[in-house]
Structure 1
Amino acid sequence: MGAADVVPGVSGGTIAFIMGIYDPLLESIRRINPSLISKWNKEGIYVVWTHINGTFLCSLLAGILTAILTLAKVVSYALTEHPIVIWSFFFGLVIASTILMIKQVRNWSIIEILLVVTGAVFAYVITVANPITLEFTLLAVFFSGLIAICAMILPGISGSFILLLLGMYVPVLDAVTSFNLPVLGLFTVGCLIGILSFSHMLSWLLNKFRSLTIAFLTGLLIGASCKIWPWKETIGFRVNTSGEQIPLPLIEKVLFPAAFETATGQSAQLDIAVPMMVLGFGLVLGLEKISIKPSD
């Protein structure tokens, strides 16, 4: 989940869904509320820890933080130096994830179909939206964490991509790589408040209207897939503090491989891209085989 959350366009929520820990994750987060204080006083810390599935949450958080802290530089380098290879892998992963989510919809009706379409349109509009340049302030860092974390636990919408839309992806990534504690601390506080609030609503929807909710989430995954299509032409740039032109990942044109070669003069690398797609697709199916089933 941590590795996926570093990449703009891939959601950690998708990985959680594949591995079968999505529902336990939401339920554990939902149980973190002020009533825990009373439970602690009456029944002790062990009961509280068991109630929120603390071992599960800490293990998951440790894995996410480890991946973010260790892979941030690696992912940034790979996306810059080998974009087609990396995006091909994630595209295969997301396509397989979409198929698995479609299988989770119990009853297909006109409502489910409309929700898939609505989710797809909503996610697509987000992926082609123009970026907003927020002034880098501590308040902006806090609200970025508050908003981005909600996307991070949604299959299909990437929290990193939301940070890109807000113009906060580079500052936050720089804070991670330089270990800027004040910025990271405030961003974390925003994430905690956002996830504790949003998880209640999402958990309730999955419990009461599971098929409808999964249909909408499937639409999000489909609509966002264009963002991770491997062959894109960057048509927008920003100027960094050194006066250099840096490509804007948000402003891109999706192309077929042949058109990509014509427009950019670069190889489509189909001999590598196709196997990487197959690898990503197969990895998801493999993870699904060993995932935690509802009956487990």
Structure 2
Amino acid sequence: MAKLAGPQLFNVFRGSLIGAAEAVPGISGGTVALITGVYEKLIGGAGHLTSAARMAVTDLPRGKGGARAAAEARKVDWAVVVPLLIGMAAALVLAAKLIAPLVKEHPQYSYAVFFGLVLASLWVPFSGSGRTWRPLDYLIGLAVAVGGFLLTGLPPAHVPTHPLIVAAAGAVAICALVLPGVSGSFILLTLGLYEPTIEAVNERNFGHLGAFAVGCLVGLALFVKLLKWLLEHYHHMTLVVMTGLMAGSLRALWPWQDDDRALLAPSGEVGLTVALALVGALVVVAVLIVEHRSKKRLENRPAGRGRHARVPTAPQTHADHAVDTRVS
């Protein structure tokens, strides 16, 4: 068990970074999952779970029990997913109390850190697509970036906090969670539901949170299977689109903007703001270095030693290879 404590704690830490990111408008938890190397593992696990739930429902009237559902659920790498979820849940609650107010009080400095973080993290989907980008890929990425830029420039609105509307917002927000470059919190902020949802977390308003959770489950079931299929069959193009989305989302994190999201010229403590952006970029560089060294250690481990010894396997598809090598 001692040998498992280190990896599990590291995955709790990864999950905490993802959960904290989701409490901040403008930065996507999917982006952080990409940076920390667990994105495709999470998408794969969510895909298997949604399939298991569907099988459990369809098999129940036939009297077949949950054998197929249980077999599908066993495909999830629970040793990775469970610590991630624990870290995400704990960090989301803490971030709602600590990070969200800090961003509200010091938006310029906070956004500067996240701007540098997302800017540096563009390297992850760009280099992880598995193929050299062609001119058409750059054009597609640019078009998606323009779309993301326009989306994140929409002025905030205010919709009623009716349970059905909250559930619909949850469905949209969870799609943003699993899609790098689009922030679920930013979507809620655009709809005027960010502060009510944060208050619901802090005040344990289970009516609001229950409607939101139902919407999240529906959105996850509808979207994650599509995304999993795209990663398996169109891995390169999917990451091209993700790169464009992340680039376009930088507009939401520009440190100088007003309450209506109009972009402003740099002013105030420009030097400190730029320095904080560099700190955010360096955090990403440090995480990528740790991931690279961890992967190298696994690749160089002698065969036949330890429970994770490498054994010959059947040839993998590119998407499978990406999933295996990006998670330590």
Q: Which TM bucket (shorter chain)?
A: 0.7 to 0.9
Contact 2:48 2:73 (C-alpha < 8 Å) held by counterparts: no
Q: Give the structure 2 partner of residue 272 of structure 1.
A: 272
Please say if residues 35 and 284 of structure 2, whose CA atoms lie closer than 8 Å, have aligned partners that are also in contact: yes
Note the 1:87-166 alignment, pairs <5 A: 87-105=111-129, 106-166=131-191
Match of 1:252 among 252, 261, 280: 261
Task: Give the structure 2 partner of residue 17 of structure 1.
Answer: 34
With normalisation by structure 2, the TM-score equals: 0.77
Give 3-state SS (helix, strand or coil) of 1:254's partner: coil
Q: Cα offset for 1:269?
A: 1.7
Once the 2 structures are TM-superposed, how far is the Cα of residue 160 of structure 1 from its aligned partner?
A: 0.6
Q: Which runs of 4+ in 1 moved over 6 A?
A: none
Which of the pair is proportionally richer in strand? 1
1:62 to 62, 86, 98: 86
Aligned to 1:283: 283
SS of equivalent residue, structure 1 residue 253? coil
CA distance in structure 1 between the aligned counterparts of 2:271 and 2:37, rounded to whole angstroms: 33
Question: Which moved further from structure 2: 21-30 or 111-120?
Answer: 111-120
SS at structure 2 position matched to 1:233: coil
Cα contact 2:26–2:186 (8 A) shared by 1: yes
Q: 1-side partners of 2:215 and 2:68: how far apart? A: 30
In structure 2, relative to structure 1, the CA distance for the partners of 1:99 and 1:53 (3 Å cut) is: closer
- The answer as to whether partners of 2:55 and 2:69 remain within 8 angstroms in 1 is no
What SS is found at the alignment partner of 1:255?
coil
Instruction: State the match for 2:55 in structure 1.
Output: 35
Alignment-mate amino acid for residue 282 of structure 1: L
Q: How far apart, in 2, do the equivalents of 1:40 and 1:156 lie?
A: 40
Letter in 2 for 1:25: L
Paired with 1:156 and 1:109, the residues of 2 have a C-alpha distance of 21
Separation of aligned partners in 2, 1:56 and 1:196: 20
| Alpha-carbon distance, 1:40 to partner | 6.8
Deviates more, 1:64-73 or 1:126-135: 126-135
Letter in 2 for 1:227: A
- If asked which structure has higher relative contact order (CA below 8 Å, sep 6+), I would say 1
Partner residue in 1 for 2:308: none
User: C-alpha distance in 2, partners of 1:111/1:212?
Assistant: 10
Residue by residue over 1:27-57, the C-alpha shift from the partner in whole angstroms, topping out at 9 and shown as x without a partner, is: 1111112225769743895x55532233433
Please, which runs of 5 or more residues in structure 2 have no aligned partner?
1-17, 296-323
Give the structure 2 partner of residue 191 of structure 1: 216
- Alignment of 1:50 onto 2:74: yes
**Which stretch shifts more, 284-293 or 117-126?**
284-293
1:87-114 CA-partner distances (Å, limit 9, x unpaired): 1110110110112322223231233122
1:20: how far off? 1.0
Given the two structures, how large is their TM-score scaled by the length of structure 1?
0.84
Figure out how many residues of one structure are paired with residues of the other and give that number. Answer: 270
Contact 2:55 2:68 in 1 (8 A): no
